[in-house]
Homo-oligomer: A and B are copies of this chain.
Amino acid sequence: MKILITGGAGFLGQRLAHALLKNVQKQPLTELVLADIAPLRDAALVADRRVRSVTGDLAQQLTDGLLHGVDGVFHLAAAVSGECEADIDVGLRTNLDSTRVLLDTCRTLSKPPRLVFSSSLAVFGGTMPTVIADYTLPQPQNSYGTQKFICEQLIADYTRKGYIDGRNVRLPTVTVRPGKPNKAASGFMSGIIREPLAGADAICPVDPATGVWITSPRFAVAGLIAAYQTSQEQWGSRTAMNLPGLSVRVAEIIEALRRSAGATVAARVRVEIDETISNIVGGWPWRFDTARARALGLSGPLTMDDLVAEYVADYPAAVST
């Protein structure tokens, strides 16, 4: 089996690659293509003989035969929320146009590939019910969410037409991400744990009373793989599936850090409100009914402490205190 991960050199792409290479799926993985605009740096992935890394513009790669012989695609490549809000053209090109090229290239394959699309809770906003379900109307209040929601529609229609076997998965904010901050409006949720644990100061750009909907890297990867492995019948509706997560206020994230690493470390978080980030993140929902995903056996982290503990366990070298 040959699988492609777009955004494969990104944080989640690399985590997913490691999981897939353990052959958790039914058929053995013979080739794993990691396509990304950035070069692949993970040494273990670079060294794996089953891994082929392709660097450059996704649309161009697709034109150049990226999908040749591919059985399945995890489409993670995207411009992040802060970037899309700052420049709508970047978002439209990266998130919408590239997905169009991907889907239209899928149509040329002899067998419709299975395709898992990582959408986001950012599709939701505006006037919402207190608890969000899969059948809640998304009313995106930012360009990133709009573009993700549009791609969901295209993937549902291409699936209906039989061009692909697509599954739309909406991820909660994935926290704690290792490494450097990116331009996602949600990036601080990782930063306020990661930086203090590494001995650095961190800024919390939203009111700590803000509620957020988060999951850990392990649960996010498990959700993506389950979406890939589940049969179309079990999957059901082509409407996107909200993955399970944890509903917490930002203050609780800082509290969990304090419990894990002490008051001195937690004191490295300074609240400094950023209007743009507060508007984007504050407009997202944070309470979800994920009955459909849970019926498939999917789950999320149970407590904020679990989430911090997972980071400390998975990235010990990033923890200096």
Contacts and interface: CB of A to CB of B under 8 A. Distances in A.
Contacts of A27: none
Interface residues of A, number: 25
Interface string A150-162: 1001101100110
A136 interface: yes
- Can you tell how many copies of this chain the complex includes? 2
Given A127-B237, A237-B126, A141 B153 contact: no
Contacts of A237: 126-127, 139
A153 B237 CA distance: 21
A92 B97 CA distance: 12
A140 B138 CA distance: 14
A141 B161 contact: no
15 contacts: A88-B157, A88-B161, A92-B100, A126-B237, A126-B238, A137-B137, A139-B237, A139-B238, A140-B153, A140-B157, A141-B160, A146-B156, A149-B153, A150-B150, A150-B154
A250 to B, nearest CB: 25
B143 A161 contact: yes
A139 B239 contact: yes
Nearest to A141: B160
